[in-house]
Amino acid sequence: MLEFYSGSTSVVNSRNAVLDCLDRAFLNKSNFDCDLVIFHTTMGHDFNQILDEFKKLLPHAQIVGCSCAGIIGVEGPNEAMKSLAIMAIKGTDFGISSIANIVGSNSYDVSIDLAKQLKTKNTAPNILLFLASGIDIAADKAIEGIESVFGNEIPIIGGTASDNMKAISNYQFVGDKIFQRGAILIGFSDKSLSVHSLGTHGFVPVGMPMVVTKSESNRIYELDNVPAWNLYTERLGLMPESTLAEVIPVGAAAIKLDSKIADEFGESHILRVITKKEDDGSFYLPVDCQEGTEIWITMRDEVKIFEYLDVMMNRLVSMYNSKKPVAVFHTDCGARGRLMLHRVLKDEIVSKMQFPISNENSVPWLGMYGFGEFTPISGHNLFHNYTSSLYVICREE
């Protein structure tokens, strides 16, 4: 039976940050004994020191993690350049697999290999946690690859790594290895556990859609027969010279959802973020995008963000009903952090998510501001952008 513990910190020294997280997770006990640590770190930390300190303090534990634009723990959100958050887990009902390189063109094939690798270590997972590179990945194809091995009934939760929202490089960590475009798949096989997930974004599609007229996998060359980046920035009222950091907060792309999924999601469209642009005017989305796909520009609706968040939390709590939450994994879009919301609103949003779940007992919580979110909706494993997504791990009372 798996047991969960969490802690987060903004201690500047990387080694001391590891110790502080473990102290918080285990309530200052001298014994940090656990079998697995999953961690998220912002870009200012010394990654080698973090991994070395985990190995020193937890020589028998498996260590995995990824970089992010900010962390979210029980202690709340923190986007300082040196922030660290962990979920420490006791118990052996899990398996881990990893790969060093995932990009748009190979996302399906390497995800099959990743899942097959996990299956040799954990033949019957009931929850899959997926952490992958957030740059140039076809996340929908990655989901298809994993489902081809494990089927489509096992929920896939998690998110894609990020940097400080520059979209230059992001990192994944396995043991003492550091990858720049890697992926990690964790299979939990504690049959007493179930996961309940929802997400929300609060963006409204506006105007007429643009049609993808030339694309290859997740790279879009043309929209309406015009260089994709040029038309996209024009629709946003920006210049083609605009950077990703200028486009991402306001430039959410929307693709229409199947009506059945939309009903439970509470949104008519699923959002996509541009993860990379090229000098030829093409850009990358984190999913495969076929020619003929319609893409809408969206507007952020702050009132809707808060209203839909309340709706999501009511529905999420009703999902697990009498079950006891024992841990929460949380992936929030990096654009919903400092790029979109100031500190007060960000704290309020996180407290609105945490209070209904942890209003009596502090539930271990590990979250990050990343580039995308793996969030099952209505029994379908889906990849999202710009959402706040929660994955509540529950155990029968």
Question: Which residue, chain included where needed, has tokens 């706040």?
Answer: 388
- Report the pLDDT value the prediction gives residue 326, as an integer from 0 to 100: 97
In the chain, the percentage of residues whose pLDDT exceeds 70 is 97
* pLDDT class of 103 with cuts at 50, 70, 90: very high
Span 287-311, mean pLDDT?
Answer: 90
The beta-carbon contacts of 24-32 under 8 Å, at least 24 apart in sequence, are 24/75, 25/86, 25/88, 25/364, 26/88, 32/57, 32/58, 32/88
Span 128-149, mean pLDDT?
Answer: 96
Q: Where are the domains of the chain?
A: 3-199+306-395, 203-300
- Report the pLDDT value the prediction gives residue 337, as an integer from 0 to 100: 60
What is the overall mean pLDDT for the chain? Answer: 92
Using one digit for the tens of pLDDT, what is the confidence trace for 66-78?
A: 999 999 999 999 9
Using one digit for the tens of pLDDT, what is the confidence trace for 323-381?
A: 999 999 999 988 776 555 555 577 888 999 999 998 767 899 999 999 999 999 989 99
Closest CA to 16 of 84, 96, 65: 84
- Report the pLDDT value the prediction gives residue 20, as an integer from 0 to 100: 97
Span 132-142, mean pLDDT?
Answer: 93
